[in-house]
Chains A and B, each alone.
Chain A
């Protein structure tokens, strides 16, 4: 083989390999083409969607929460706008370093860090969490200039809830706070039940937790708006593609009278207790007090740990809504209701008289009266005015527990009143059935006749909330027409301005004889004229009725109440009242915890509330000379607008 042949052969081989390469080039180009065609034709739809969702971020706009005003237009809850500095943990590399760097620019206190940590534990990491609220304009400017240094940190304009009157009516209004898992579950359930598309909490971070804020959450919240925003890979907004404005929440107008509420709260001072004042003609709640109170503003941007600790561990339990949740034995305030039960069931005529020796003996037990030696000859009217226990020991025994329970249940005790805030308790209306349900062992389930006797004077298992007592008295004064007690008078639609009235219709009728009711009214008027309410109502220029009560906290086991018992073991003090006598426009139930005798601690509060409501003044209580006059039993010093006839003592059945 010569060189020429060699190189010819070599050239042929080379050209074959060139051909092979050409083939390989086409093959590999074909592979690329196939891949591109697969992506761009077969999977085009899929990738288009991915690109769109990459590109468009649906950003919710939280609606403006509805305001809450009292019946006179005094604002009790509103919103204000403020800038917050927020961090989205997901988009931040090193949280601590970021916060350290931020604190160079903006004042961040250790408490802010602690609150942030706590919110971080509760929240999802893709949500933005406030590190500082209420930035000043200068702080906003300082941060904005260096915003590019902080990924995942942003200044946002947020609406804050504000309760301008502070703690006023806090238990009724409630508060809003950060949405937690329970709230989310609740929202989901409500949305499913109402099949309401408008329940959308994207973008909303706060929700009503208690009180009206919770009850009317879906009225107050409004409808979330949204914005379609084109975003880049870092999540920064490039431009807005579409905008749907949010619809603000509806406003609530309350039946509550803010000034009256203020008077009532002030009347309690440092004392623990509750007061419910309502208009018996429609169930409108005029004041709802639970003392001590708390400041709902503390909760709005995440309550600080020490504040929460203080509220929770305070022995006075300021978070407890005593007006609707705590049930207390009604004590002697039960007596007018017992009397009405006896009249209604035909078991007593008003004129029926007993001779009170100062005790009642039953089954080998002695039930004592407050007054040693007894009240002498006592008929129904006197039994209420002087609050004679012996009369009611007899009566309870005669009526029997089943009849008592049936009647009391019918007029409203032992059941939720249906007030429009959550957290109401049922109280306890004792009966053999209740005992069978309440207790496990056979021994405990048994009803003893002696227990009926205690029930007759409002002790024993009896326990009712102040709200129930006010509601029940209102039902009676209304001749059996029952209105749901309610705090919201009207809901004003934020869009149309239309007003929806709430709860103005009676919900049921209790069959009561008006004559019986009038008798009870007169008897209670007697209490305020010459009985246990006389000192508190001395010199009142309006007519009123009332009844004191003392609920045993601790059995004295036959000892006399001495007043120097440890404060927390002292009896609870009740007062139930209404005014004016003929056509009552206000009913109150007052309870002062460990207040001792009802006439001295609870009744004066009712007097101040009535004075304010009926006379428009803060009275500070009765004048001393009027009290002295009342002490002398000078009934004539009182205006006698209501004729108390001899017939009351004898004629009624």
Chain B
């Protein structure tokens, strides 16, 4: 009995990547402290919930790490298809919340298929390139673009600009690492810039346009769309180099920061910990991404390489977009700060990603053998 438990424990340890695990624990610690600070004045205890969320996420992470990449690969196509079907379902029968149709209701459970797609998309594309590894031609890149664009456009139509960009980016990273030629990338980039006016006029919704406009001039609408940015930059700027100290952020405590425990939690952290705290946080994210890229570089198969590299970069993009929007250099899109923001769904998705990275790293020797 005891030896069984010991065996299980040593199996878990064997598939645990200590550097990643440490970084994730540190980030979660920062997250708990900040969520506590952001919510303590509201009188609602979010800390217990978030601790449970984190424990669930850690369990999922460790469980996924046990699974061999080949096993994970088998889920790529079904997961993608299910997510796609659900997205189409959302478009047809979805529940509207705040004017956008993002949710699908199954009686008690409401799910957001775009969340599944965040992980399904890179898996699907990595699997696709792996399948056609020996015969990669332009045609395959074109098909990959189709796989990428179909769900991305569906999510854009919901409308959910932030998520569609992130999923698009996740897919694009796979294609990029698969070796799409620079010429095509640059050409597409130019084409995209050329298409911007069209997108502006015909694709974006009013509120999305307003968000982008207020980015350039938050003062134009200080009590409306610009309010978030103005208040969060005040919070960050007033934090200074050393910060106001944990639990002492006045912008936070006096409720000036909107969505302060979710999307704008970085403003809370910045106000209380200052530039020094920010440097530590940035360093943690860089370390996380760096470790992920190292894992990718050492990964044995094309599938695991592409998936690991894409997951690493997308983690960084989440952090970058969130910090960018909260500090006022990127438009406000609903992106949580990885491991810091309050919320269970995002944590589960992140845990899946980290679990996959661990799995790829800890199973690399098995493949070689």
- Interface of A toward B, CB cutoff 8 Å: 3, 6-7, 10, 13-15, 17-18, 21-22, 25-26, 28-29, 31-33, 35-37, 39-41, 43-44, 46-48, 50-51, 54-55, 230-234, 238
Contacts and interface: CB of A to CB of B under 8 A. Distances in A.
Contact of A47 (B176, B238, B255, B296): B238
Nearest to A53: B234
Contacts of B134: 3, 6
B254 A33 contact: no
Contacts of A233: 231, 254-256
B323 interface: yes
Given A28-B320, A51-B250, A36 B327 contact: yes
22 contacts: A7-B133, A14-B177, A14-B179, A17-B176, A17-B179, A18-B297, A25-B293, A25-B316, A28-B320, A32-B327, A33-B278, A36-B236, A39-B328, A40-B241, A40-B278, A44-B237, A48-B240, A51-B251, A54-B250, A55-B250, A230-B254, A234-B255
B256 A232 contact: yes
B329 A238 contact: no
Contacts of A35: 324, 327-329
Contact of A40 (B176, B239, B290, B297): B239
B179 A32 contact: no
Nearest to B176: A17
Contacts of A18: 177, 293, 296-297, 309
B216 to A, nearest CB: 15
A40 B237 contact: yes
Contacts of A33: 278-279, 282
Nearest to B271: A51
Contact of A55 (B254, B275, B290): B254
A231 B240 contact: no
Given A18-B296, A36-B327, A47 B236 contact: yes
Contact of B286 (A3, A29, A48): A29
A355 to B, nearest CB: 91
B289 interface: yes
Nearest to A47: B237
Interface in B270-313: 270, 274-275, 278-279, 282, 285-286, 289-290, 293, 296-297, 302, 305, 309, 312-313
B235 interface: yes
B359 interface: no
A504 B176 CA distance: 98
User: Interface extent on B, as a size class?
Assistant: 35 or more
B152 interface: no
A631 B220 CA distance: 89
A contact patch SS: helix
Given A40-B275, A44-B238, A51-B251, 11 more contacts: A3-B134, A21-B312, A22-B290, A28-B320, A29-B286, A31-B324, A32-B282, A47-B238, A50-B234, A51-B235, A55-B254
Contacts of A22: 290, 293
Contacts of A31: 324, 329
A32 B238 contact: no
Contact of A13 (B179, B239, B279, B312): B179
B39 interface: no
A6 B132 CA distance: 13
B173 to A, nearest CB: 8
Contacts of B302: 10
Interface in B153-196: 176-177, 179
A54 B234 contact: yes
A37 B254 contact: no
Nearest to A15: B297
B323 A40 contact: no
B327 A231 contact: no
A21 to B, nearest CB: 6
The B interface is mostly helix, strand or loop, or mixed, namely helix
Nearest to A22: B293
B233 interface: yes
A125 to B, nearest CB: 14
Contacts of A3: 134
B270 A36 contact: yes
Interface of B: 133-134, 176-177, 179, 231, 233-241, 250-251, 254-256, 270, 274-275, 278-279, 282, 285-286, 289-290, 293, 296-297, 302, 305, 309, 312-313, 316, 320, 323-324, 327-329
Contacts of A26: 286
A341 to B, nearest CB: 74
A34 to B, nearest CB: 9
Instruction: Report which residue of A25, A48, A238 has the largest number of chain B beta carbons within 10 angstroms of its beta carbon.
Output: A25
A231 to B, nearest CB: 7
A238 to B, nearest CB: 7
A10 B134 CA distance: 10
A29 B282 contact: yes
Contacts of A43: 237
A67 B316 CA distance: 71
Contacts of A39: 233, 236-237, 327-328
A54 B256 contact: yes
Question: What are the 6 A-B residue pairs with the smallest beta carbon separation, nearest first?
Answer: A47-B237, A51-B238, A39-B237, A232-B254, A40-B275, A47-B238
A358 B168 CA distance: 117
B254 A14 contact: no
Given A22-B290, A232-B254, A233-B254, A47 B234 contact: yes
Contacts of B323: 32, 36
A25 B297 CA distance: 16
A195 B290 CA distance: 67
A250 to B, nearest CB: 39
- Most chain A beta carbons < 10 A, residue from B177, B233, B234, B270: B234
A17 B180 CA distance: 11
Nearest to B274: A40
A48 B238 contact: yes
A18 B176 CA distance: 10
A3 to B, nearest CB: 7
Contact of A231 (B133, B177, B254, B320): B254
A456 B249 CA distance: 85
A232 B324 CA distance: 26
Nearest to B299: A14
A93 to B, nearest CB: 12
Contacts of A7: 133
Contacts of A25: 286, 289-290, 293, 313, 316
B275 A41 contact: yes
Contacts of B329: 31-32, 35
Q: Which of A7, A26, A35, A36 has the most CB of B within 10 A?
A: A36
A3 B302 CA distance: 13
Contacts of B238: 44, 47-48, 50-51
A238 B241 contact: no
A41 B305 CA distance: 40
A21 B293 contact: yes
Interface core residue of A14, A26, A31, A48 (most chain B CB under 10 Å): A14
Contact of B320 (A14, A32, A232, A238): A32
Given A18-B293, A28-B316, A31-B329, A40 B309 contact: no
B237 to A, nearest CB: 3
Contact of A51 (B234, B241, B327): B234
B294 to A, nearest CB: 9
Which of B133, B134, B241, B323 gathers most chain A CB within 10 Å? B323
A226 B297 CA distance: 66
A36 B275 contact: yes
A151 to B, nearest CB: 13
A44 B254 contact: no
B309 A21 contact: yes
Nearest to A42: B237
A36 to B, nearest CB: 5
A604 to B, nearest CB: 69
B177 A17 contact: yes
B254 A54 contact: yes
A25 B296 CA distance: 15
Contacts of B177: 14, 17-18
Contacts of B251: 51, 54-55
